[in-house]
Amino acid sequence: DTGVSQNPRHKITKRGQNVTFRCDPISEHNRLYWYRQTLGQGPEFLTYFQNEAQLEKSRLLSDRFSAERPKGSFSTLEIQRTEQGDSAMYLCASSIPPEATSSYEQYFGPGTRLTVT
Amino acid sequence: AQSVTQLDSHVSVSEGTPVLLRCNYSSSYSPSLFWYVQHPNKGLQLLLKYTSAATLVKGINGFEAEFKKSETSFHLTKPSAHMSDAAEYFCVVSITGGGNKLTFGTGTQLKVEL
């Protein structure tokens, strides 16, 4: 299966520690998105890349969050000095650019569940 | 700005009866609209999408949705519920050219009873 993959699937960390998540998109997709989903809510947009360029960041993405996609393939999301409020499911999605299709659908990975104790 | 409102947080139906999950959207531009499903401990899966073609959209597993611009609605329906349909359903809007980032509703939990 060549879908979107995310690692790790679960992460438990202590408040104040740094964590890093990885996302591997579908290989021909040059757009990559990060979302955050808290309990009982729909996912919320955090940031997205087209190839290696980070084109937009949500106001939800505080200075403690940084995302990279250095070679336009996989992406990492790092959270520094984690807080209990960072506990959530972090979802990655990828898509083909709009010029190539009329559909714009995004394909999601299984997510990384972060618990900050 | 764009937003979606899912009118019911929980819907319960009997197996074999119709399903209706309601969604209203708000958008300054012509939107693309989607329904995604999330089964427990599984990733989000696209059910169907509307992108300014036919207003009645057919998706996977017998689901369909109708785009009604006059009512700003995009309700999801299925003629006959199956136990395997029990999941969380999200109505989603995106704007072409706005990075195509998705704006999700708060979700509707569908319960299917015998």
In the predicted structure, residue A43 carries a pLDDT above the cut 90: yes
The closest CB to that of B46, out of A31, A105, A110, belongs to: A105
For residue A11, is pLDDT > 90? yes
Proportion of chain A above pLDDT 90, given as a percent: 79
Residue B30 has pLDDT above 80, yes or no: no
Instruction: State residue A108's pLDDT score.
Output: 95
- Which tens digits make up the pLDDT trace of B66-103? 999 999 999 999 999 999 999 999 999 987 666 788 99
Q: Label the pairing between strands B10-14 and A75-79.
A: unpaired
pLDDT in tens, A53-109: 999 999 888 999 999 999 889 999 999 999 999 999 999 999 987 665 555 789 999
Taking CB atoms and an 8 Å limit, are A42 and B107 in contact across chains? yes
Section B104-108 average pLDDT? 96
Residue located via tokens 């659908």: A105
For residue A98, what pLDDT is reported? 65
Whole-number average pLDDT of chain A: 92
Confirm if B7 and B71 have CB atoms less than 8 A apart: no
Q: Residue B65, Cβ neighbours under 10 Å: how many?
A: 26
What is the C-alpha separation between B11 and A3, in angstroms, rounded? 30
- Asked if the model's pLDDT at residue B40 lies above 90, the reply is no
pLDDT at residue A100 in the model = 53
What pLDDT, on the 0 to 100 scale, is given for residue B41? 77
Q: What share of chain A is helix, strand, coil (3-state, %, to 5)?
A: 5, 50, 45
Of B42, B43, B99, the CB nearest to A56: B99
CB pairs under 8 A between A and B: 62
In this predicted structure, the answer to whether residue A34 has a pLDDT above a threshold of 70 is yes
- Predicted local distance difference test score (pLDDT) of residue A85: 95
- In A68-93, which positions are buried (b, 16+ CB within 10 angstroms) versus exposed (e)? ebeeeebbebebeebeeebbbbbbbb
B105 chain-A contacts, CB cut-off 8 A: 42
Region B28-32: mean pLDDT is 80
Predicted pLDDT of residue B43:
86
Average pLDDT, rounded, for chain B: 92
Asked, as a colleague might, if the bond just before B40 is cis with ω within 30 of 0, I would say no
> Pick from A78, A70, A93: which is nearest to A5 by CA?
A93
Q: What pLDDT is attached to residue B51?
A: 80
Nearest to B33 by CA among B1, B6, B4: B4
B1 pLDDT above the threshold of 80: no
Per-residue model confidence (pLDDT) at position A60: 84
Cα A21 from Cα A8, distance rounded (Å): 7
